[in-house]
Structure 1
């Protein structure tokens, strides 16, 4: 998906995406959900994990059709998604929600920006709702790190999760 820019990624980020599938990564994460009354419903639709600090984290990456399946576990909460390339963009199905991302290499990491979103496979959601989504893969202290921070204009903070992973 990144073309020649893939070679400019930091070692741990490049390694995670170049490791033959299936593969397993372990690490730790911190998760904080927002407090708006809609957060539990929205989190259930996207199958987002619950709050937690220093949660043991596991991600199993495997092939799935023409893409990948990412089976994450934050503590005891699973979060599984399916990812695939579509016309130069990355799509991710997460529960009842499908995201389309534009990927950009920046400072050795990958920034994911939301282009389009659908609910239930066919209901388009306004792109302006997702301008407050920040997703970043990076390298810090010799580790692969991740950050997902989702703020919606009409509900405020939905979820923020960040942490690190190492290959097993």
Structure 2
């Protein structure tokens, strides 16, 4: 990274801990420009009406197993992600605001607090919801206490595990898998 290049989003949010992350996480989150990664994913979805409605509003992936393609376009102040599963893209935009990683998924914008936590022989990035807005209106963050994402490395592969459940609704989605980032 050159002296004039902007600081990547994750390094901005985890300045003292970023270099403690496993190599695959650092590589994925420091690359500028457009990159495509391929891997495998398993997706479980909730079945209730409200679960399906929330999944539609946030464009969550469909249930199943198979290949995942992730396209990341990193600009100086934001990233655009497309997670393509079974030919359908879950698109989002990420940026930093007030110390949070903000992600717009469909009609909902999340503000995540990132932390580095030990996991196995290395460290992981853990995302926890700090604020939520749906159609611009704030929602109580406590509703999202059980929405947690974790990124880690195992067998020299970037791994992810995203679990989202809400009170009175139940499971929204649980998707996990790996990507080759080399």
Instruction: Give the TM bin, normalised by the shorter chain.
Output: over 0.9
Does 2:110 align with 1:95?
no
Following TM superposition, by how much is the alpha carbon of 1:48 offset from its aligned partner in structure 2, in angstroms? 0.8
Match in the other structure for 1:151: 165
Instruction: List structure 1 runs of 4+ shifted beyond 3 angstroms.
Output: none
User: Residue deviations 1:89-136, cap 9 Å, x none?
Assistant: 11000000000000001121100010000001x211111110011100
Match in the other structure for 2:87: 76
Following TM superposition, by how much is the alpha carbon of 1:167 offset from its aligned partner in structure 2, in angstroms? 2.4
For structure 1, the 5+ residue unaligned runs are none
Instruction: Say whether the 8 Å CA contact 2:32–2:74 is kept in structure 1.
Output: no
Residue 90 of structure 2: SS of its match in structure 1?
strand
Does 2:143 align with 1:129?
yes
2:73 to 62, 72, 80: 62
Question: How does the TM-score come out when normalised to structure 1?
Answer: 0.94
- C-alpha RMSD over aligned residues: 1.2
Q: Measure, in 2, the Cα distance between the counterparts of 1:61 and 1:142.
A: 20
Q: Measure, in 2, the Cα distance between the counterparts of 1:81 and 1:15.
A: 20
Q: Measure, in 1, the Cα distance between the counterparts of 2:132 and 2:137.
A: 8
Instruction: Say whether the 8 Å CA contact 1:64–1:82 is kept in structure 2.
Output: no
Question: How does the TM-score come out when normalised to structure 2?
Answer: 0.87
State how 1:1-168 maps to structure 2 within 5 Å: 1-53=13-65, 55-64=66-75, 66-107=77-118, 108-120=123-135, 122-167=136-181
